[in-house]
Structure 1
Amino acid sequence: MDLVITSLEAWDGVWRRNQHLVAGLLRRDADLRVLFVEPATDPLHAALGAGQPRLGRGLRQSPPVDGIRPEALWLLEPTKWLPRRVDRRVDERWARLVLRTTRSMGMTEPLLWVNDPTGSLLVEATPWPSLYDVTDDWTLAERAAAETDRVVAQEHVLLARCEEVVVCSPALAASKGADREVTLVPNGVDTAAYRVVRDRPTDLPAGRCAVYVGTLHGDRLDLDLCAATARALAGSGHLVLVGPDALVPEQRGRLEAAGVVLLGARPSTDVPAYVLHADVLVVPHVVTPFTDSLDPIKLYEYQASGRPVVSTPVAGFRDVDDPLVTVAGQETFTAAVVGLLSTGEGPTAAADPERAAGADWSRRVDQLVDVLGRLRDRDRRA
């Protein structure tokens, strides 16, 4: 079986939902072959934003992954040459590149898994049986009107024409399932990674640490709350943010000026060490319709660690029945973190992964196998 995935995330050292699920599928099915379409590079945008411009790497085999045949997983990283406001056909060029690549690989009748809504162009252009996997409701994110209109139009096509729709959260199940059937496949955790005793990371600041693990993004992080918490901890501990940095320079500067320690992205294999050696784990997220659509992977990672958690009342954390999770609003969040940091017994580096055993990625792969099986059966009947 061949599978084409249009992903919102690159295949890199920071494993998220797509990588865990794809790796699980490939380990189970020796005949499966996957083309994983990564987000396009944007060299012009990078240059204007003082980033490091580079071209997309095109088609290539994936780096080695345990238990996966090298020829089973291929990555495609396109290049976006111009912004959409200049090149009105940028998405069409992207779709043609994907189609040319599938033909060059001999993928004549693949299944299509759409995570990046731009994949709606492939749904319209091909007869491929298709699955829409909704992991974030980008129709609710604060974006320019043209961008929001584009995403809304693409999602309209996907919800109307995809044979299967998968969502990761109850909120998405309610919103996307209002007019059609959807399947809830939540996020998960690699519980085996939390059964290993790990040394304290050398870049974790000395002393007591409140640690956040996840992508640093203005759509999610409450920057004012992070800054206030870091200032309140000054002299007694540190607020440490670990994860890919998607902040703009002004946002990053505000956090650093308040004393927040930004460690940047770390390979997923190293993340359990940061989680296990936190004195307190934190979720200083804004509460918005967009964040309410999420199913935070960190919920399951934090639970597997057995460490105390303080979270704003965001989806996932506000709903869980867990004595180690303290849900606090903006007014009480900082005090809750300071209180736990000053009275806690400190990390033991001994996890309790059984607390999250029901959310192991292997169970999520089981669910996705069923969905893909239905998709394949529909194709055969057609």
Structure 2
Amino acid sequence: MTNKKNIVCVSNTTWEGFYTKSTVQLVSLLAKSNQLLFVEYPFTIKDLIFTLMGKGRAPVKRMLGIKSRLVKKQSTFDTEVNHLVLPPLLPFAFFKNERLYNFFLNVNTFFYARSIKRAIKKLNMTDPIALNAYNAIYGNTLLGKLKESLSVYYCYDGPDERRYGKRAQVADHSYAEKVDGVITTSDFLADSMKHLNDKMKVVKNGVDFNVFNKSAKTNINTSNKKKVGYIGSLDHRFDIETVEYTVQQLSDYEFEIVGDLMNPKIHDALAKYPNVTFLPPVKPHEVPDLLKKCDVGLIPYLCTEYTKNIYPLKINEYLSVGVPVVLTSFANLPEFDGVANFTKNKEDFCEAIRKEIEQDNVEKILSRIEYAKATSWESRAKDFEKVLDDYLAQS
């Protein structure tokens, strides 16, 4: 590690939540030798109202300033991160008129920048590194406003046009061109963006190995009851057709689906089958014990322009507890060839599950665990900081 740096992470995710987040993991570990300011997801007035109605999870009291907007958070890695919540911003993404859209974007940016600058001043942070985590729309308008010594775009997914519209891609590409460097989580994503910025680096997702490995399998399940598990977000990426076909064909297997149901069509299609159980999302520290009970873990994503950029966090989590992994071929992840089972269609997907369960053994369990050990977040954080140091040396 090098000299202590001041890092301001402008995030597009929340600090807390149901699932492990790469930004939070990396920032937590970077805080071991640097001063970190994590700027929470930019909640809007709509989020505030929905939370007051009991339909959201926004930090209302901190947003309104009833409680301090700037606090210190203890991470799972025993580090301390400064955590900033913004005042409620104005919803504006729905505007089709570009003038209105840009007007409200700029209004929000004024309050966004003002809040961050106040926190920077209070923390005596000078010449900060501005690390933008998948928040390109605001990245463009905030660029240069924090008096940053370095601007870095941490792009862990491709632009999600389905969620954010065409403007997401425009902002993503525009911002990538302007920053001092871009860090992606997959080789495919880096290759697709290399024409935008010649300072392109890859730091892949990791796993909290020590936590997950405490729940590692020590033997195969010899009972007749076999459990197929999925833990993660239940959203538009989920391949309903493939999973429904598999559930029908493997009626003697139990399917346990755990996660935040963002796409009700998933529940509508699968809940009618007696061998399918839906469970609500759990906290990250509860995930390992759930995985240990599975005989195989699924990552059934649709193959789209968006998902081909993804390096899924859960693949290393499954492997850390020794669980075999069956995936659709949504992304090119050659580093997992021979460790996980990639399938081309619903028939292959179904057969791969049966094969992985029937042919599993202790040797394979240990091999998966050993592979995952090399992908710890500690290792990834060292790689990430090395990239930041290289960018600083070149600036």
For Structure 1 versus Structure 2, the TM-score category normalised by the shorter chain is: 0.7 to 0.9
CA contact (8 A) 1:41 1:55 kept: no
Which range moves more in the overlay, 332-341 or 186-195?
Answer: 332-341
Give the AA of the match of 2:143. V
| Displacement after TM superposition at 1:217 (Å) | 1.4
Q: Determine the structure 1 residue equivalent to 2:272.
A: 257
Q: Distance in 2 between matches of 1:65 and 1:36?
A: 15
The DSSP-based 3-state class of the residue aligned with 2:93 is coil
Aligned equivalents of 1:330, 1:275: Cα separation in 2? 23
- Compared CA separation, residues 173 and 73, structure 1 to 2 (3 A): same
The match for 1:120 among 140, 143, 146 is 140
- Residue deviations 1:347-367, cap 9 Å, x none? x99895322222111111111
Report how far residue 370 of structure 1 moved.
1.5
Would you say the 8 A contact 2:326–2:341 is kept in 1?
A: yes
1:202 matched residue in structure 2? none
Residue 317 of structure 2 is aligned to residue 301 of structure 1: yes
Q: Which residue of 2 aligns with 1:152?
A: 169
Q: Secondary structure at the match of 2:371?
A: helix
Question: Which structure 1 residue ranges, 5 or more long, are not aligned?
Answer: 200-205
Judging changes above 3 Å, is the alpha-carbon distance between structure 1 residues 159 and 353 closer, same or farther for their aligned structure 2 residues?
same
**Aligned residue pair count:** 363
Summarize the Cα distance change of 1:324–1:373 in structure 2 as closer, same or farther, 3 Å threshold: closer
1:2 maps to 2:18: no
CA contact (8 A) 2:128 2:147 kept: no
Where do 1:239-278 residues align within 5 Å? 239-247=255-263, 249-258=264-273, 260-278=276-294
Whether 1:84 and 2:101 are equivalent positions in the alignment is no
SS at match of 2:285: coil
Map residues 207-246 of structure 1 onto 2, 5 A cutoff.
207-218=225-236, 220-234=237-251, 236-246=252-262
**Equivalent-residue separation in structure 1 for 2:45 and 2:268 (angstroms):** 24
Corresponding position: 1:290 with 2:306: yes
Matched residues in 1 for 2:228 and 2:277: separation? 10
Post-superposition CA distance 1:115-154 (Å, at most 9, x none) = 2112221115454221001111115x435xxx43321232
What is the CA deviation profile of residues 44-73 of structure 1, one whole-angstrom value per residue up to 9, with x for unaligned ones? 69859x971565543242543255555x42
Give, in whole Å, the separation in 2 of the partners of 1:127 and 1:192: 38
1:61 maps to 2:71: yes
Equivalence for 2:203: 185
Q: Normalising to structure 2: TM-score of the pair?
A: 0.80
Amino acid of the structure 2 residue aligned with 1:137: G
Q: Give per-residue Cα distances to partners, 1:315-369, cap 9 Å, x unaligned.
A: 25565222553534223212332454567579x9989532222211111111111
Shift of 1:95: 2.0
The correspondence for 1:133, drawn from 142, 147, 154, is 154
Aligned counterpart for 2:37 among listed residues 34, 38, 56? 34
Q: Find the counterpart in structure 2 of residue 94 from structure 1.
A: 108
TM-aligned CA distance change 1:276 to 1:351, over 3 Å: farther
Query: How far apart, in 2, do the equivalents of 1:172 and 1:180 lie?
Result: 12
Task: Extract structure 1 runs of 4+ deviating beyond 6 A.
Answer: 348-351
Contact between 1:185 and 1:368, CA under 8 Å: does it hold in 2?
A: yes
The amino acid of 2:22's aligned partner reads: R
The answer as to whether partners of 2:159 and 2:168 remain within 8 angstroms in 1 is yes
Relative distance call for 1:330 and 1:52 in structure 2 (3 A) is same
Pair 41,342 (structure 1): closer, same or farther in 2 beyond 3 Å = farther
Gaps of 5+ in 2: 64-68, 218-223
Please tell me whether the aligned partners of residues 303 and 356 of structure 1 are also in contact (alpha carbons under 8 angstroms).
yes
Q: State the secondary structure of the residue aligned to 2:235.
A: coil
Match of 1:321 in 2: 337
Report the alpha carbon displacement of residue 101 of structure 1 after superposing the two structures with TM. 1.7
Please, which of 20, 27, 52 is the counterpart of residue 22 of structure 1?
Answer: 27
Per-residue CA shift, 1:25-84, capped at 9, x if unaligned? 012x1x513132324256369859x971565543242543255555x4213255344343
The answer as to whether partners of 2:152 and 2:182 remain within 8 angstroms in 1 is yes
- Using a 3 Å threshold, how does the CA distance of structure 1 residues 350 and 269 change in structure 2: closer, same or farther? farther
Offset of 1:263 from its aligned partner? 1.8
The separation in 1 between residues aligned to 2:46 and 2:268, in whole angstroms, is 24
State the SS of the aligned residue for 1:18: helix
| TM-score, length-scaled by structure 1 | 0.82
Residues 307 and 324 in structure 1, CA contact (< 8 A), matched pair in contact too: no
Change over 3 Å in CA distance of 1:208–1:283 after alignment to 2: same
**CA distance in structure 2 between the aligned counterparts of 1:292 and 1:244, rounded to whole angstroms:** 22
Q: In 2, distance between residues paired with 1:318 and 1:330?
A: 21
Give the distance between the partners of 2:334 and 2:253, measured in 1 at CA: 26
Higher deviation after alignment, 2-11 or 236-245: 236-245
Identical amino acids, percent of aligned pairs: 21
- For 2:41 and 2:226, the matched residues in 1 are separated by 38
Q: What per-residue deviation string (whole Å, max 9, x for no partner) do you get for residues 290-337 of structure 1? A: 111111112222222222222211225565222553534223212332
Provide the rounded CA distance (Å) in 2 between the counterparts of 1:187 and 1:109. 28
* Correspondence for 2:379: 363
